[in-house]
Amino acid sequence: MRKAICSFIYHKILGWKHKVSIPDYDKYVICAAPHTSNWDLIIGKLFYGAIGRRTLFMMKKEWFFEPLGTFFRFIGGIPVDRSQKHSLVDQMVEQAKSRSIFHLAITPEGTRSANSEWKKGFYYIALNAQIPIVLAGIDYANKCITIEKEVFPSGNIEEDLHTIKLYFKGFQGKHPEKFTIGDI
């Protein structure tokens, strides 16, 4: 029922498509970009529901006020206090290791503004949990989410990040001026 509802909204009402050629691993980190609008969360959740998968996502704790907090937790939200320096990576690695299914979506820019200095937490979560990073490109120009590449972290973050950023080069966010992969 959930899949049918999400598929109807995602495909029929909103007119979005998808291309997915990556297996549905039990555990992975989803690197989703470009992230230029709050609509990305809604489109992404509908997309994952339409293909019959569930995802977790981290979001700043300020959004978890009631009644939104209950709703965000229900759909997989994990509140994050970005003002504190505690090992969020270690916490997510433990979550990955303790769950039989772990699909964590992270936007590497860490903001909806142009930022060429991507956050590296998603990479270290995958590296330390020994799980792949699945690359999800959100393309508003073509109304399509594409997942056709995964990266198995090698430990060479510069090389792996270069590969990851190149994947997102052709995708256009809702606000294209707010996305950059920087000089690579």
pLDDT of 183 strictly over 80: no
Q: How far is CA 18 from the centre of its chain?
A: 15
When pLDDT is cut at 50, 70 and 90, the band that residue 88 belongs to is confident
Q: Where are the domains of the chain?
A: 2-173
In this predicted structure, what is the pLDDT of residue 182?
Answer: 76
- DSSP assignment of 92-155: HHHHHHH-SSEEEEE-TTSSSS--SS---HHHHHHHHHT--EEEEEEETTTTEEEEEEEE---S
| Residue 113 pLDDT | 63
pLDDT the model gives residue 172 = 93
* This prediction's pTM: 0.87
Q: Indicate whether 21 pLDDT > 90.
A: yes
78's CB contacts (< 8 A; 6+ apart) are: 56, 57, 58, 59
The candidate with the shortest Cα–Cα distance to 123, out of 84, 164, 81, is 164
Position of tokens 């979550």? 95
Q: What mean pLDDT value characterizes the chain?
A: 90
* pLDDT for 114: 66
Q: How does pLDDT run across 125-169, given as a tens digit for each residue?
A: 999 999 999 999 999 999 999 999 999 999 999 999 999 999 999
